Structure 1
């Protein structure tokens, strides 16, 4: 009896391949080689490279959403301090990765967001899911008088996470955390009540 391929394992390989190389620099043959599956098995799971990438983004986004929700549910600090520690942790993870990979959703937004509606829609949907989690923490901070109420919680969540995405892109060029640290300090100075 032949080996039964696990779709989730193939998607996890796709995450790593796309994060390291981008969408346009990856062909089906590289995906097949790195996942160790034959072409026929790949097409049993996915209609195309685009379909595969869409499912990779979805899996990545949903996994991150669960991870973020757990992080904030478990955080025993005040809302503003939970947000600060979350982004400090993200800065640390990127430093450990030598600023090489970044966030798959961010990478896809930058690379194909303007030209591929399907991947843009999926990337945006995952980003919005993350924003909902961040907005709930921001709202708690606003209710406790820690975070400015000049803007609604969703706009502040967008400001936080879109700003962090910009810094992620910047560090791929500079390969140091200087701009991340500046973003962190300035952002939390701006939003603190």
Structure 2
């Protein structure tokens, strides 16, 4: 059973000092406005991509006057970096909530993360997918700064999953011959493909199939019921 089923939302952004220009908004609402811009930008970039998302669209969704944007961000590029950093913080909190939940065995934690991701994806009507995966395909070959930032995010996620899988190995839930770091890398490679296809097909089926295949491939001794009828390949 999935333990966390709240409606998906992107969090308020952390405050990152930037050089300002233009007339500042009300000081009491300044960081709220910046966070709102980043949250709306995250939603739009996840749905549509970074390059096609215009600053005017972000301002319109946020309900913020045009002159405010350059008070918070020197350029669209700087805004994109803030969006990625905000998504990293948001997603790592989600991962930690599952992968560090010691009330469950390690593989059940990973299973719970997969199940909750399906629910969140469905609640967004399969519009958003994974921002890091989306921007990695869009910008990875075009901008070295974005590429390095996105690669670092994926590496952080791999470390978290590797720690969970290593715990499963030490418990005897997985064969001792397994390399947890390699399995974590394979997990995220497959996960990004499954999420992309789920968005394309507007169905959670690719994510369920990936979960079934991954757990069978690593030799999980007891498969959850939701994977019982999923294809092995």
What's the TM-score once normalised by structure 1's chain length? 0.90
Shift of 1:179: 2.0
Shift of 1:167: 0.5
Q: Paired residues, what number?
A: 193
CA RMSD of aligned residues (A): 1.9
> What residue is the counterpart of 2:48 in the other structure?
21
Aligned to 2:71, which of 34, 41, 44? 44
CA distance in 1, matches of 2:178, 2:141: 28
Unaligned segments of structure 2, at least 5 residues = 1-23, 221-233
**1:99-114 pair list within 5 angstroms:** 99-114=126-141
Aligned to 1:69, which of 75, 81, 96? 96
Q: Is 1:23–1:108's contact at 8 Å kept on the other side of the alignment? A: yes
**Higher CA-based Rg:** 2
**1:1-193 pair list within 5 angstroms:** 3=26, 4-6=29-31, 7-192=34-219
Unaligned segments of structure 1, at least 5 residues = none
CA distance in 2, matches of 1:151, 1:115: 36
Deviates more, 1:21-30 or 1:66-75: 66-75
Higher RCO, 1 vs 2 (CA within 8 Å, ≥6 residues apart): 1
